[in-house]
Amino acid sequence: MKEQAQRGILLLPVTLTLAVVGALAYAMTRGGGMDLAAIDAEYDIERARYLAEAGLQLAKWQNERLGCKSQRGFGTVDLPGGRIVSGTMDEGGGQLAISLTATTATGAVNQVAGRRLRMHRVNDPTELAIKRSDIDDTFIREGYPGQGKGKYLETTDDQAHGLVEFHFPKELNDAVVLQADFRLTQVDSKSAQPARALALHRVTSDWKEDDATWTAPWSTAGGDYVARPAASTVIAGNAEYSWRIDALVEGWVNKTVPNYGILLKPTGLLEARFASHEENANQPQLLLRYLPRC
């Protein structure tokens, strides 16, 4: 693909966003009787900011394509809504310090001086399986002490939840996660309901596999976790199952959310048992495909 076409593809979402912002602004003006000149000025400032953000991403993308040590400017890019002119680029420690000026067609200006962005090896996608020794797991059951290390993770509606936590190698720090597949194998079950599923929820409190119980160390019995599941899949019988948790793993490796692992919350399952990392076969797996940091 030619460079000009690549730039167009990259900046298209920004252009569309500007159009939406403009439409909303004028809708607000008509509906609320706001001052048209003030809305125009505010919209123009926002448009300049969006143009500058597009320029930052263009500079990052271009230099990532050229290699981790690249520090090339992109010159001038003209768009229907304005112009972006690159300034100095300075690479160091895998980060690119970017300076540029974005100017709208009506004259609003947004200048960026030395904004540092982490670069990644976009030409070198890497695969990694988290080692068995870097996985902690257990299950907690209402009315029972902690199960600790065992050969299975048991789940039952509102009575038993599984817990799994991953320890990531330093090479994943600040990586871009392209794909993260979590895999579990069901080895036994007494489930009879037709609708059966297992959801993965991000855990929000620290725990240890030898100490966790239904009531501890949680503020709520059954575990502390985000209510909205990170992923869910239908469970039909003894087999291997997979969940995509790309965004969750990227949050962990980039430290935007604390890594306390996942809670396995069932629907329609009765004593459904999944092989743990202590089992000789069919252990939990986390398979990653990612872009390493520069």
Are 130 and 114 part of one and the same domain?
no
Q: Is the pLDDT of residue 216 over 70?
A: yes
Are 63 and 150 part of one and the same domain?
no
pLDDT for 7? 42
Are 69 and 209 part of one and the same domain?
no
Q: What is the mean pLDDT of residues 162-180?
A: 97
Are 135 and 108 part of one and the same domain?
no
Question: Which pLDDT band, with edges at 50, 70 and 90, does 145 fall under?
Answer: confident
Question: Which pLDDT band, with edges at 50, 70 and 90, does 1 fall under?
Answer: very low
Domain closes at, from 64, 88, 118: 118
Are 238 and 205 part of one and the same domain?
yes
Q: Is the dihedral of CA 213, 243, 291, 100 positive or negative?
A: negative
**CA–CA gap between residue 274 and residue 277 (Å, rounded):** 10
pLDDT for 3? 42
Are 83 and 150 part of one and the same domain?
no
Are 255 and 198 part of one and the same domain?
yes
| This model's pTM is above 0.85 | no
Q: What is the pLDDT of residues 231-261, one digit of tens each?
A: 999 999 999 999 999 999 999 999 999 999 9
Domain closes at, from 68, 84, 118: 118
pLDDT for 238? 95
Contact 102, 15 (CB under 8 A): no
Q: Is the dihedral of CA 49, 54, 58, 61 positive or negative?
A: positive
Lowest mean pLDDT among 8-22, 89-103, 238-252: 8-22
Q: List the end-to-end C-alpha distance of the chain, in Å, as a whole number.
A: 24
pLDDT for 40? 75
Neighbours of 219 (CB within 10 A): 9
Are 179 and 106 part of one and the same domain?
no
For residue 213, give the CATH number of its domain: 2.60.120
Domain closes at, from 118, 152, 177: 118
> Which structural domain, as residue segments, surrounds residue 281?
126-291
Question: Which pLDDT band, with edges at 50, 70 and 90, does 267 fall under?
Answer: very high
**CA–CA gap between residue 146 and residue 294 (Å, rounded):** 42
Q: What is the mean pLDDT of residues 207-212?
A: 94
Decide which of 66 and 80 is more confident: 66
Altogether, the residues listed in the chain come to a count of 294
Are 110 and 165 part of one and the same domain?
no
Contact 165, 259 (CB under 8 A): yes
